[in-house]
Structure 1
Amino acid sequence: MNKLFLSLSIVFFYLFPSSYASNFELPEIPRIIGMKTIKIWLWELDSSVDDRDDIENYIISTIESSGYKSDLHIALSWLDSNYKNYQHFDDVIHKIDDSDDQLNGFSDYIQANYKFKNNDYHILMTESKWGSIFVGIFGKTYINSHFCIASDDSESTAAHELGHMLGAKHNSSTSWWTWTAPIMKTQSLFVRIGEFWSNDNKSTVRKSFDSFLNFPKSKRIFFASNSYSTVDSTNNAPKYEMLGRWNASKAIIYKLPVNSNFKYTIEIEKADFDTYLYIYDEKGNEINQNDDSGVGLKSKLSSLSFNSHREAYIVVSGFNNKHGNFTLKVEREYSIQRK
């Protein structure tokens, strides 16, 4: 399911810095060039969780209703018995009655075993709620957290808790009881839908999305003088979707600090494959590109001015998914007369 502006990946498998050592890796998420990504990991504690489509739709509509659509890629990933590291999770995490202990145990498990970043959000999904039938808890998290627990008893709970993780709060003025106040609009007193209703919540959630990087895997260019050169290779580089005319191409990204007083020349030298050169701004918009038109020829862009931009991103890839070794050279020169 792909949207024109807000891109969605639903993956069925099958940093925020942490001081913990990571033993396992989360499944690889397809990267989309120049787009922010929110990665939502749904850990299926009970195989009886059977409302995946509804849960996903509530999450999607919740994010959409915040008004953030321009450059956000939503990656929803179910981690079930088909995920290669699921057995270790299943051996450690069990359903317990106390929701606080359940949430803290789940959070501790992820931090102890996985590396994660500020755009990773982990949701423990169960079939039934916590506590008694009459006063049970459907879900729980902490504001601005990266971990929550959610029950399939209400398909909107995961979306509701994700809203809290992104910074949204209850508004007690909209409900008879403070503890029942939702962060989304209500169709009735007891039925929540996945939509933010508060302008403050919208603003807060957008700020959370703004903190995500459009180019998280970039290498920074430092000028010792007015020239920079590096030898590199795309052989083991990650693949990016929506890069040029090819569905998924290996690419290396460089972050270039730019100044309006300079013009820049960027070229690929000594490449053993058919190269393609792209330039993007900090928001992920393509500024320019160049094809070397064959192995042995240079991809080159000359006398580039970046005006008000403070940084640009150089993307080195290959024609028709080709990859190999190359030398990247960047030169800058004053574009105004020095006094």
Structure 2
Amino acid sequence: MYFYKRRTWPRQKVSVTKTVETIFKMRGLYISWLVHSLVLTVMVHLSTQTEHLNSTLDICRLFPDGTKIRKPGGCTEYIECKNYARSTVTACSGKTPYFKLKSQSCENAYDGTYCDAPCTTKTQGYIGDSINCANWHLCEGKKPMATGTCPTGQYFDKVTSACVYPKDTVCVATYELCDVAPLNVLFRDENNCNKYFSCDKDFKLQTHTCDAGKYFNVATSTCVAKKDVVCENHPVPDDVCGTKKLAFRNKFVSDQSTCRGYFYCRDLGSGIPDTNPAFLQCGEDYFFNQERQACIPREDQKCSQDRCDGREDGVFEIAETRGCHDYYVCQDGRESETKSCEDKYFDVATQKCTDTVKTYGACSA
């Protein structure tokens, strides 16, 4: 997720003619913008789909319920996902010892090249492989003569050609998502909420992008409104700081994903938009207003994103419906349900319905 210091931005309008350093110091936002740029660059462009076999992350975090995945590190077992976690592990055996991705069943042969013995014209004797540190192969050139696995808790050491304890060797086993994922099943890109993946018939990773204003919902395998998806890594919008024709210079702009988040676009010169803007965020009681270039009380700001952003469980948030009668119940920092004061008005300060007429910018005409 993005890194920032959570400070409350004053309500008055920001003078964009001041230097970046002066603005940040006056507002109490002591941010190394160079560090921000580096972090954002890494987060946005981190697209490798290589996973480590011994990672503590559960591969099912990326897939919808019911997905069957070849268990990483071998070809004889498969995992079934439920609630974004491993639910069951099933072993194939007998005349159908391999799990086949295309058929999603146990077969007499595996598909793809993931489980091929790593024997080449240059190999001779015992070697290990990269998919499981416990595996070993006996090769005569390209021909595999035998394959086996070290006893539980041991790794194959390529130097001594023997099974040893992990502390006595170096091994990093990895796999690509399309080595284990079923074909044509959509799964999420955890680095970009507006993107998602699938594996084609050749076991190659395909990247897809939702339409503007939408994020990928892994449960339904569809693109939906941003506010309906829990997103930890909001992508930097395209042309967020303008284009070569009109670059936003020394400006604060909405992150287009939340009510509180915004970017600072540096002045890099005429026709040079900032491609790595620093990410900032309004305090819990404020929403960003791009026109005023400031954070203002959240009840005074309209926002099409989730209005419960930053709120604790049980807190009520004014809804944007005209008349200021309705409000949201917040749970886990999200809008959980809408309630109405009916012929009364919702009072933001007291968190109650009142006979006194209340008018807020968020629910005005």
Q: TM-score, normalised by structure 1?
A: 0.31
Higher relative contact order, chain-length normalized (CA < 8 Å, sep 6+):
1
TM-score, structure 2 length as denominator?
0.29
Larger Rg: 2
